[in-house]
Structure 1
Amino acid sequence: MDEITFSNTPVTIVAIGGGNRTNKYLEYAVRHPERLQLVGIVEPNPLRRHALAEKFGLKPEQCFEDYKLFFRNPLKADAVLIATPENIHFEPCMLAIEAGYHVLLEKPIARTLAECRAIARAARNKGVIVGVCHVLRYHPYFIRIKEIVDSGELGQIISINHNAAVGIDRMTHGYVRGMWRREEITNPILISKCCHDIDFLLWLTSSQCRKLTSFGSLRWYRPENAPAGSSDRCINCPIEPSCPYSAVDLYRTRRDWISNFDVPEGATIDQVIDRELRTGPYGRCVFHCDNDVADHQVIAMEMENDVTISFTMDTFTLDDQRQTHIRLTQGEIDGDERSLRIRWFRGAREEVLDFSSLIGTPYHAGADLNLIEDFVHTLACKEHNFRTSIEQSVESHRICYEAERSRLTGQTIRLDD
């Protein structure tokens, strides 16, 4: 990011939610305590609450187990970071706005379009900033795509094909066995996982959506598709040694997706994994869970500037990345987060940019930290605007909610009606 001049006084923030995303974002406060200071934590899980308190030297009176208790006697701070489960976004965000805090809100905003709009309206009325954590806008690869498009050297965008490859392990861990498996608990998968992608496409085209249609379903992870003779738990299933969805293979053998398993004092991660496999939600057969979110979905969009967009969410893939192909009037751009190829029509000129060194780099290749820096700069410098305002984010969420309506009804939805 560009060189920024900061105030001599750090921005103070209270974190509501002490899980993975909070820890990632607060790394910025670890690296730059002169710019950002954590002054409070609200987290019902005592392991997570105590870990953050110890890490940042918080006193007992700065730690809360319930956000309602916190807002009865709120701490003095400039802002709150809300990174709770998404079904617990709306109320604490509204309370934070009413208390006069600026808010940095993990995506998605809330669980309904009405709630999203209510947050935006409350922020306007109160005169506070609500920024939404769309990290793609801060990732070097996606920033470069935006820069190339905005330069005009390839002309105007005609169409975009964008694919979000969720990855089979991420899907089974998070959206079949895990926290995001049911719409009533969180959101449809399109909103929980892919509102980032829709936000990126709106940012890229600098246009709003005129109409859309969407298709998809929960096709595979259903009881009727369970292999003959399989068990309801992987650990005692005769099919497990050859099953591509094995929890035993994922957690015990490969030790993937275990970083968010809480390890109580005196226990080991192996004991926690064993308990999950035997009695926890993450040990269940993918065909015998209580999931209801879609496992594949497509959206066709027509923008107000006549750009057409084809968006696909694929989960039956070993890939866990995004692929984008942009057709413009004087050339095209295509990439898969590892490399970005730019081709000009005249002279068949071609350039390939290598981003492979960013794969697996912590903090989304620095995007998490860039986002926090932008938020801190926004609070410290009033003429600076945060890159993803609540108003912009509401529009991407509106597309997601309307796409769900199209998927469920079979209708083409006009967004300008």
Structure 2
Amino acid sequence: MEKNKKNLPLLFLVTLFFAISFDCSASFYVDSSYQGRYLGTAKFEKIMADLPYVYEEALAKIQQTLGIPPRRGMNLVVIFDDKLMHGGVRLRGKRQSIKTQEGVLVHYVFLDLEFLMKGEATLLEEMTHEMTHAVMADIMGLREYEALPMWIKEGTAVHAADQGLARIKALNQKGFSLERFGSEDENPKGNPISLEKYVENYLKIKYLVETYGDKLLHRFIKRIMASGNVQRELSICYSGLVEDTLNKYSSSFIRKTLQDNSRVISATENVHRGAKYFGDGEYISARIAFTEALNSPNLPVRERQKAAYLLAECYIQERNPHIALDLLANLTPDPSIVPYDRYVFLNAYSQYAVGMTIEAYHGFKAAFENSNDKAVKEGSLYYAVRILRELGNINEAYRVLGALERYFPGSSYIILAQSALR
């Protein structure tokens, strides 16, 4: 959720900014003052360990979905709260940006820990959502960004974070009236806004993607960040499209999408939908579709195998290897449905992620030896190098690195493996 700079006391944020130890080359910080109920728990420690990686993954997702290059120079501070409230409303996350007296723009990302600890939200989606606001504000300037309509600000954030389907499902459970869609922005200078508006804002962006493609959306966003003129850039990028016409066309798209998602969807169709989401890199939406499919007793065996395998991949993408490992342990793959070498690799990766280092090493070794797939083979060699380094077998690690360099001389894993041995 995007927040303007009136929501928290300015003095508190400025004080917090200068209280944090800054490295001149760094721009990403985590507030270390948290003393809440989850301090010291294994889940909290995992979140803290994952944050630097999730930060990079969020930047990558923003680039993939919106075409915005990574903005590593911006100052971003993550702050945790057991229960994040604003104006009497419970929030999963919010972003607040301020300029210090020295003119430094600082973005604060507040995250509700309870949602993360209970698995009701993922760290990646919440960071991606709030960082989308921060990245765009950092590029445009805070005042120019705040002046954008909510369908641009919240629509892009929900789209980048792959939260669209989840919010549509939540809206269906809550119940809605189509008459509430198409009205003016709710509280454009502050938050929270209603679930209906989140969905509407997202589906406007989704309409542009589905109708005109990703590349035009990327161009549109780039031009908006340069000029701040939504009307002009709509017309330039979309062949004379004006906002009134967009509202008319997107209104029909919104109604159709909501009606389609409110009907009963068969288990097999959910698998097909999940596979499309997965192919588009929308892993949260894919996870929702696959989970619903697997909960049906009527799902055919072939579709069940495919759904379980891809669902495990979704959980790996979400940094939940324990769940992935459980799914894979209960799956006896049919090689005609699930590539066995890929299954072995994913299982080894999940084992490595949960600390089963020796088992993972043997899994990666088996995957390398029994696969003809380039991605499986080079990935297996890379993780073997990391494991051998962790186990202190440096000579063998260098031998495996040599094999990686020899078999796959252009592999992006080579630099990572070399870094692991430094």
Give the number of the structure whose residues are more often helix, by fraction: 2
TM-score after normalising by structure 2: 0.26
TM-score after normalising by structure 1: 0.27
Give the number of the structure whose residues are more often strand, by fraction: 1
